[in-house]
Amino acid sequence: MIIRILESFNDSPMMLYILIVAIACIGGGIPPMLERRRRREIENQLPGFLEALSDSVGAGRGLQEAMMEQAESSPGLLTTILKETLREAHSSSFEAMLASFAAKTRSTQVQRVMVLIDTALEQDAPLQPILSDLSRDYERLNDLMNLREVELQGRGILIILFVSIGLPVLIAFIVGLFAPASKGYQITEFNSTFALFFAVASVIGVGVTGRMLGRLKDMLWWLPLWMVLSMALYLGAVKAVGG
Amino acid sequence: MRSLQEKRELLYVIRTLDVLISSGVGLEAALHTIGKGGYGVISTDFQNMMERLTSGKTRGLSDELKSLQKKAESKGYQRLLNTLYTNVTQNTDLVDTLKKQGARMEEERTEEVEKYIETLGGVPESLLSIGMIGPIILSIVGLVPQIMSGDLGAFMSLPEASTMNLVVNVGLVGTLLAMFFIGLKAHTKDPGL
C-alpha cells in the first residue's frame, strides 16, 4: 500500500526527494527537542536553587556545604545532576566540581552562574547578596522566556497549520472541483508550480514560527517534513477530488 | 546582528563587572576577566582592547573606551562604555552606577519582550491573509485558460495561456516575498533573550 501511494506521486520527483531528506532529518530533529526540554527544566529550577543557596550561606554555611545540602534535600533534575557531580568529585577541587557541574547541565544560564560564583569565590566577595541577586535576575529572565513561549506558541502553530495544511487542501479542492484531471484538464504543470509554492510557503511559515519562538535552528530539522507534507496534501487532495 | 549579540550579553557583563569591582578587583583586571571569554562579542571587544593596551599601541584605557563606544551598536552597551570612561576620567562610583544600569537594563528587556509579543500579535493574521488570498486568486487565474477554452475564451478575448501562466508565477513569487517580509518582523524586532 505504501509503495502504491508513493507510486502515485511518480510525476513529482521533487516531492519524493524531499521526502527522503525529511525522513533523514527526523533523526536530527528529535534530539534538540528533548535537549531543549531538559535544559528548560534545569533553567526553571535555577532561581529557586540559587535562593536556597543564598539563604544557607546567609545562615552561616559554606557554599560547598550549602550545595551538598541542596543536592540532598531538593527534588528536580538540577539537584540530581549536582548530587551526581558531588559524588564523582571526591578528590577534585571545589572549583573543578563547579566547572564539571556547569558542563553537565549543558545550560548557558547555569554555566554563567557557576563562572560568576567561581569569580566571587576567587575574589572573596560576599556570596549571599550575589546569590540572591542572581536568583532574582534568572527568575525574571526565565519568566520572560516562558511568557514568550506561552504567548507565541499558539500563533506559531496557527501559522504552520494554515500555511502547510489548510492552504494546500483548500487550493486542491478548488483545482479538483473546477478542473478535474478525470475530465481531460491538463493541470500537470499547474500542479507542480503550486506544489513548489506550498513547499516554499511552508519554509517561510516554519521559519517565522521558529524565529518567533527563538529556536529557528531546532525547527530547521523539521522543515523538509513540513515541505513534503504540504506538497503531498496538495497533490494527494487534487488526485482525490479531481481523479 | 551585532546589536542583538551585544544586547544578549550586556546584562551578564554588567553583573560580572559589579561582582568583580565590588569585591575589590581593579577596572583593568575586571575588563581582562570579561575579555577571557564567555560573553560573546563583548568578550572579543574587551580582549582586543586589552591586547592593544598591553602592547602599548594605544594612548590609554580612556581612549580605547572612547573608540569602542563608536563601534558599539546597542544603546545599553554604549551607556556601559560611557560609564566606564567616566569612571576612568573622573573617578565616579562605578559599583553604584553598574547596579543602576543593571536594573535599568532588566526593565528595558522586560519592556522589549512585551513589545515584541505585542508586535508579533498581528503577524499571523497578515501572513495568513496574504498567504491565503494570493494563492486562491492565482489558482483561479491559472485555471481560467483551461475552464474558458474554445469559443467562450475567444468571446471573452482572454490572453494567451502562457501569459496567464506568467502572471500566476509572478504572483506566486510576489506572495512568497510578501510573506517573507511580513515574517521578517519576527527577526528584526527580536529582543535577544
Going by C-alpha positions, the residue among B80, B68, B86, B84 that lies closest to residue B105 is B80
Query: What is the Cα gyration radius of chain A?
Result: 26
**Which one has a higher pLDDT value, A83 or A122?**
A83
> Half-sphere exposure (CA, 13 Å, Cβ side) for B142?
28
pLDDT of amino acid B81: 92
State mean pLDDT over A31-49. 94
3-state DSSP assignment of residue B178:
helix
Task: Work out whether the CA dihedral B183, A195, A5, A10 comes out positive or negative.
Answer: negative
Confidence of residue B153 (pLDDT cuts 50, 70, 90): low
pLDDT of amino acid A209: 93
Confidence of residue A229 (pLDDT cuts 50, 70, 90): very high
The per-residue pLDDT for range A101-147, each reduced to its tens digit, is 999 999 988 998 998 888 888 888 888 988 998 898 899 889 989 99
Task: Report the residue from A152, A162, A186 with minimal CB separation from B146.
Answer: A186
Which of 13-42 (B) contact A at CB < 8 A?
A: 15-16, 19-20, 22-25, 33, 38
Residue B125 has pLDDT above 90, yes or no: no
State mean pLDDT over B102-119. 87
Domain spans in chain A, listed from the N-terminal domain onward? 2-38+149-242, 41-145
pLDDT of amino acid B113: 87
Write down the residue that cell numbers 533553567 correspond to: A43
State mean pLDDT over B147-159. 71
What mean pLDDT is reported for chain B?
Answer: 86
Residue B1 has pLDDT above 80, yes or no: no
**Which one has a higher pLDDT value, A140 or B189?**
A140
Which residue is closest to B102 within chain A, CA to CA? A137
- Reported ipTM: the value is 0.80
pLDDT of amino acid A166: 92
CA gap B185, B10 in Å, rounded: 23
- To test the contact with chain B by mutation, choose from A111, A118, A211 the residue with the greatest count of B C-beta atoms within 10 A, namely A211
Contacts of residue B186 in chain A, CB cutoff 8 Å? 208, 211-212
Measured between alpha carbons, how far is residue A43 from residues A36, A50, A82, A124 in Å?
Answer: 10, 11, 13, 26
pLDDT of amino acid A11: 80
Residue B150 has pLDDT above 80, yes or no: no
The per-residue pLDDT for range A187-200, each reduced to its tens digit, is 888 889 999 999 99
Q: How many other C-beta atoms are found inside a 10 Å radius of the C-beta of residue A243? A: 10
State mean pLDDT over B4-28. 85
Confidence of residue B179 (pLDDT cuts 50, 70, 90): very high
The per-residue pLDDT for range A10-21, each reduced to its tens digit, is 888 888 999 999
Q: Which spans in B120-183 are helix H? A: 123-147, 151-155, 161-183
Task: Report the residue from B25, B120, B165 with minimal CB separation from A155.
Answer: B120
